[in-house]
Structure 1
């Protein structure tokens, strides 16, 4: 039996000839990224000496998705729907998807992935990604912390500008803006779009955004009432419903009679809330498809745009009226 195992043309012969384990031989022939060039050549030389030709087995194509704030996933929200669309788009192109939370980013360096997708990482999370595998990396709706990365997302500046112009066209001038936080690619672009729209309408003093990561729903309501706001862009993924609930239940604010509201689309809630919410909807299915396509093109050495931004859609329902 032992002689059979060491016969010419076997993986056991290669391991003995190279003086390494069978696991190391397997890693070399499966293109394991952390095998040194010297070790790789040593094993390949032994394989030639033994006349060993590995059976060609098609390896699964895998995309690694680094996801931030997994603890805040809810049915129908931005991240949940985006993840679903990514899985569907990847499957159509023959890829599997491995999900890695930002709290375990080090796992990304141990995974054999063909490409990496970044979802909802903070700037601090992104800065910690200095040891990722050298594979195509696409950021969804985020800043490019590395010049080799690519961006796919929605035009957050235009989302806020168009939504604000929609309110301005209906006579509103005291318009508040609620964001998840104040720092980051998406929120900063939305704040800029809001400011530009307000200034284009001749609003002399543009209110500062209210940040849900710093203020409670009660404090946000205080801020809106301090502004004497007649309308609000409630652009927070994580706390939008909590803000609405506090306004309606605790402050007896009538929407839209007392306060017109435009929210971010949550397909599980927005069409069923009372009143039905006017929203901004990102084309998440198109974004997901473009992410997978971008990685596939990069793997095929094709040229792709460094940044691809899609236009979002304003869905008119019943939460906006004239002041």
Structure 2
């Protein structure tokens, strides 16, 4: 179907239709929506090959992501796909293996050879010094130093904020200190959560107890819980994710310590099963979709308006979801 039919139905010129479907500026939101609605009504689909020739862009983003089924990275990848689609971009995803620094460099090269307009790095692990060079804008979801590109945007490296919220919440219930079951410290997010916990205790004049490191799994949380259950002074535990928190609760039950009467436990992520374990888990809810939408909007602005410095809007965390695994300590 010719674009002239879309122009006629929308009451605009063919040039305006072309501007809308080439994502050019200087078109009002009202007219843009009118053109899009007319195109949908007529079943019109833009010619992406012609669009690429006209704009010089592929409208495709490359994503380098750790190949894992862990809830956080997997949920973030889903959010990235949704956000990209809403912005009119397709995705090419290359998964990497944990501990493979060369794999990240190779993944970026693969995506650049495919002609992507921008790169999204969703790599949560510190693999040591990495030298990445890109000739298109790069969005790093978390800390990843050593990136050289026309534009580098960093987002999502604020996990210390909700960790402080979790620790402050337990202290506010009356617990004298909070123990921490941390994620593996080669993960940037695990370090940030541990830093938020530690800073909160220090600011309250409390010497942080020894941190117990897990590997994000319920099994590692169970092992940490067995160790903490043997210490009668432990009354509150902040776990770096919900799986480890569930493992802690299981270990406490097996040791004869009741949650939350004897020990309060709070997790992080608000995974779907968190509301249905026994007891239902108090946790920190993460806004993966909000982070992805905000960060990708900044990346696309950087792609489509070269020379400008796109500003990142604030990303709000979902906050504390209070359930039945936390309570004031015994008097």
TM-score by length of structure 2 reads 0.70
**For 1:267, which of 260, 271, 275 is the aligned residue?**
271
Structure 1 position 101 matched with structure 2 position 102: no
- Looking at structure 1, the residues matched to 79 and 182 of structure 2 have their Cα atoms a distance apart, in angstroms, of 24
Q: Is the CA contact 2:286–2:319 (under 8 Å) kept in the aligned structure 1?
A: yes
| Counterpart Cα distance in 2 of 1:226 and 1:290 | 44
8 Å CA contact retained: 2:65, 2:121: yes
Report if the CA contact (8 A) 2:178-2:236 is conserved: yes
CA distance in 2, matches of 1:307, 1:66: 23
- The answer to whether the 8 A contact 2:181-2:240 is kept is yes
Shift of 1:109: 0.5
Q: Which residue of 1 aligns with 2:197?
A: 194
Give the aligned length.
261
| Root mean square deviation of aligned Cα | 2.8
Do the aligned partners of residues 173 and 62 (structure 1) sit closer, same or farther apart at CA in structure 2, a change above 3 Å counting? same
Looking at structure 2, the residues matched to 135 and 310 of structure 1 have their Cα atoms a distance apart, in angstroms, of 28
Report if aligned partners of 2:76, 2:288 keep a CA contact under 8 Å in 1.
yes
SS of 1:108's equivalent in the other structure is helix
Within-5 A mapping of 1:38-53: none
Corresponding residue of 1:210: 212
Counterpart secondary structure, 2:291: helix
1:71-86 paired onto structure 2 within 5 Å: 71=68, 73=69, 77-86=71-80
Deviation, 1:218, is: 4.7
Query: Could you tell which deviates more after superposition, 307-316 or 100-109?
Result: 307-316
- Tell me which of the two structures has the higher relative contact order, counting C-alpha pairs closer than 8 angstroms and 6 or more residues apart: 1
Residues 121 and 138 of structure 2 are in contact (CA less than 8 Å); yes or no, is this contact kept in structure 1?
Answer: yes
- Residue 140 of structure 2 corresponds to residue 135 of structure 1: no
The Cα shift of 1:242 comes to 3.5
Of 49, 53, 57 in structure 1, the residue corresponding to residue 50 of structure 2 is 57
1:284 match: 288
Q: What is the TM-score when the length of structure 1 is the normalising length?
A: 0.71
Distance 1:307 1:56 in 2: 32
Tell me how far 1:83 sits from its aligned partner.
1.3
Q: 1:321 aligns with which of 301, 316, 327?
A: 327
1:122 maps onto 2:115 in alignment? no
Q: CA deviation at 1:291?
A: 1.8
SS for the counterpart of 1:123 is coil
What are structure 2's unaligned runs of at least 5 residues? 1-47, 53-57, 98-102
Match of 1:30 in 2: none
**Alpha-carbon spacing, 1:307–1:180, altered in 2? closer, same or farther (3 Å):** farther
CA spacing shift, 1:155–1:67, aligned 2, 3 Å = same
Unaligned runs of 5+ in 1: 1-54
Aligned to 2:259, the other structure's residue is in SS state coil
